[in-house]
Amino acid sequence: LILFSCKRRLGLLRQRSQSASGLKKPVKSNQIFSYLIVIDFESTCWREKNNYGQEIIEFPAVLLDTSSGEVESEFHTYVQPQEHPVLSEFCTELTGITQVQVEAGVPLQICLSRFNRWVQNLRLEKGVMFPNKQQACSASDESQKLCTFLTWSDWDLGVCLQYECKRKQLHKPDVLSSWIDLRSTYRLFYSRKPKGLNGALQDLGIQFSGREHSGLDDARNTARLAVRMMRDGCVLKTTRSLERVSGPPTTS
């Protein structure tokens, strides 16, 4: 029994050391989605409490192939805030984004148009498709690969973009109405509550790469975390949808 226990401990240590050294296991092939687009916005923010609406100032998106675990394409732009165009010192300190960068950026409406163009190119070049009711009823095409969005928490798509588009009366791309919340998925899969994205990575022996609160670096690291979770056997599923469900409400 003592020998078995020692072997078991050695095995666990070996697994941990392999994880820490970055040795790659193959990604599980039972994923629902062939591609994930990882999004992590940065927005205007202030040290003191106020009633200002937050505006997106950095819009990154990272296309992740779930079978290879590789990033295949990226979209990135800085966005000009219109309601409160001057960034607070706190915002620049937190995100590293400067006034010069946002002034050289584009308004959110143009950013969304460019993002739509990037997504359309993915449809044409990689056969990416997004689930909806019409596609669910039609025969699936093997050349088309199912894709959805992935974020760390519901804030990016469920709060930030949603309310900014409403305030500014902008059309939000329909595909951005459903996504996977990796934070809640992480909690359920590993049965523990992480201390932020960096904490979740550290818990798995992965070092954060780049600068925290840089939107693009956060998106890339979120993609790395998703890959690790898939390698550990997690099947990533849609956790949130803003699409309206037709039909009368059900009664309890």
The answer, yes or no, to whether residue 18 has pLDDT greater than 90, is no
Element (H, E) at 37: strand 35-39
Class for domain 26-241, per CATH?
alpha beta
What is the pTM (predicted TM-score) of this model?
A: 0.84
pLDDT digits (tens, 9 = 90+) for 128-138: 999 875 444 34
Mean pLDDT of the chain: 87
CA 22, 73, 217, 184 dihedral sign is negative
The answer, yes or no, to whether residue 143 has pLDDT greater than 80, is no
pLDDT-based confidence at residue 23 (cuts at 50, 70, 90): very low
The answer, yes or no, to whether residue 210 has pLDDT greater than 60, is yes
| pLDDT at position 243 | 73
| pLDDT at position 135 | 47
Q: Which of 74, 84, 212, 213 is catalytic?
A: 213
Q: CA-CA distance, 229 to 150, in Å (whole number)?
A: 13
Is 42 one of the catalytic residues?
A: yes
Domain residue limits, the chain: 26-241
Is 164 one of the catalytic residues?
A: no
pLDDT-based confidence at residue 141 (cuts at 50, 70, 90): low
Q: Which of 42, 55, 58, 164 is catalytic?
A: 42
124: tokens are 């044409």
Q: At 73, is the secondary structure helix, strand, or coil? A: strand
